[in-house]
Structure 1
Amino acid sequence: MCSTLKNSRGNIKVGITWSFPIIQHTASNKGIVSDLGKGFSVCDEFKGGDLKDIFENCFADGGIPIEIYSIVNDSVSVFVTGSYFNNAKLGLVQGTGINSSFLVDQSLAGKQKIKFLRNTDSDKKVLINTEASFLGYHLHKYVSDVDRDMNRLWKVMGSDEYPPPHMTTDTYGVFQPLEMITSGRYIPEIIRRFVAEYFSDTAVPEAGSEYTLSAELLASLYRCSDPEKFRAELGKSLPLDNLKDDDLVILKTITKAVIYRASMILASYIIAMVRVAKFTHLEKLEISVVGSMLQYFPEYKETVLGILDSKAVQSHNIPKISFDFIKDSSIYGASIAAYVNQERMGL
């Protein structure tokens, strides 16, 4: 193995991209496992444990000595990668879940976060991981019965006066409103449930397992104009008997409605990021993006960009926004962060 990959202690230098919330109080190469999302849960053995210890011990058990130099969220890895290669100013994860990362004035960071910074000069910027999936609990006004059936917490938290979801995980578990309306894990499932409900009289009883409709399949169905091919493709996820051509139009109408709702909300979130990050003075803004939903469902991407480019939005000094889809950000971002920490922390 290349000698530069090992430190003076003979351990392999490792950077980690972690796609779930962690608590980082003492160092950027440590992180306490808290709650997960995207349909996952953390086992008791690891909850509350330090990711640095967990990974180093597990690799040691396999005879591989490693040392964790950095642990970064996936949104931070997207930002770091996009900034390093393309000078991007904002990173967006829009796949199974949703998250973002960008620089803000330190004055916008809470006191509990500022106290962990080494440099607290008020004119400095700080890179934030927004954990955006927890935002949007006020969106209960715009959810349907299908949304409520998918997650009972839409009913529990149906009030603007209710504490934000990230403050209630101990009581109610993980509730991620923005993710459940805009992300690639939930949009296809919302559509699948609407379709199954609408065609309940014709559906095969055991048809339609949860989360079997993928973004890629959904996109191909949306663009399909051949009725027979449409039926065959749909049958892979939601077998329906005797669908007429008019029924196919209804299926596309349902898809279009769910996508438009998601697009409006995602565009609103992007506008909020632009304002918080103070990018309104820019003429153009490139956002680094990873995630299958925007990448493999062009109609979703085009609808979001169309809203952002509309006269109503542009009249509020929002720059011309474009998406740059990047590859392997989890690898590049973690590697760059590990190198920076090596220099900064003298590892």
Structure 2
Amino acid sequence: MRAARLLSLVLLLQNRGRLTAGELAEELGVSVRTVYRDIDSLSAAGIPVYGDAGHHGGYELLGGYRTRLTGLHADEAESLFLAGLPGAADDLGLGEVLAAAQLKLTAALPPPLRSRAGRIRERFHLDALGWYREQDSPPALVALADAVWNQRRIRVRYRRWAEPQEVERRLDPYGLVLKAGVWYLVAAVDGAVRTYRVSSILRLDVGEDVFERPGSFDLAAHWQDYLAVYDARRLRLQASVRIAPALLAALPDRLDAALVRAVEDSAGPPDADGWVTATVPLESVGLAVPTLLSLGPDIEVLAPGELRRAIAEAAAAVLDRYRPAGTSDRAGEGDRSSSPADRVASRARAARTAKP
């Protein structure tokens, strides 16, 4: 355990340069006193660690010292070949770079680990895209990635939903995010950080101006905050629903994660038939109707009344479309000679005209 921590300390200094004892302690999950002892042990072992006191002090490696990767455990070496997505690297123009890096990494490993690491690629493949989706590879992506890396200010013509649909923006590109096969640009415009879908960029001009990227900006943390705000802004309609037991078990395969979490958090105890009542956030009545209809008869909207009536109208329209020619649409619910479709249509019409 201590040997692994000492190696991690050396790699932190090698990759990040000067770090204080407090920063090292936080990264390693130990006390500052433990860091002092580890530094002494490294120095005694001949590792050239140099420390400066004072407000701007810290520890660093002298003389361009570099350690080799012979300290990797077998599991660590294997897991390295699962890191990253080849498709994403190709999109960014880094496919050959990734392949070369993996070759160098393989060559640096001792023979026993080399064979075990290669076995990972033979047995595991990561495909991060959802079903029925293709990789989004916008033509501007490579040039955009270069602007992000070199902190070059850009000017874009962008297509959006709001009017006017096509706008021009002067942006400081902070980073790129790949979400479910779709590339997004996180950039600053007039001091505010915004998110843009890369495939909606109609024209990209990379300038010569270099911008200063804030040292405190954390792309991963920003993206998590953005997703939370996006869901809160997107899901503004609160609907009360009843859900059958069979559908409840299948919800993770039928709805997106935000809606599934909402059901899990708000579901009450099952009734005598096993149905549960829950509150789900939805975007709007218009967008909610096809989503809820796709779940079939195992879900019932209780409120709001506007959504309940809209679903009843849509269901009645579907039944009218598929009713056999010549069949009367006046069949009542109590008419045993009517077809099941007619009886459902009658109930749908009753719900449509009922008060909320």
- For Structure 1 versus Structure 2, the TM-score category normalised by the shorter chain is under 0.3
Pick the structure with more strand per residue: 2
Instruction: Report which of the two structures shows the higher radius of gyration computed on alpha carbons.
Output: 2
**Larger RCO (alpha carbons 8 Å, 6+ apart):** 1
Please report the TM-score for the alignment, with normalisation by the length of structure 2: 0.25
TM-score calculated relative to the size of structure 1: 0.26
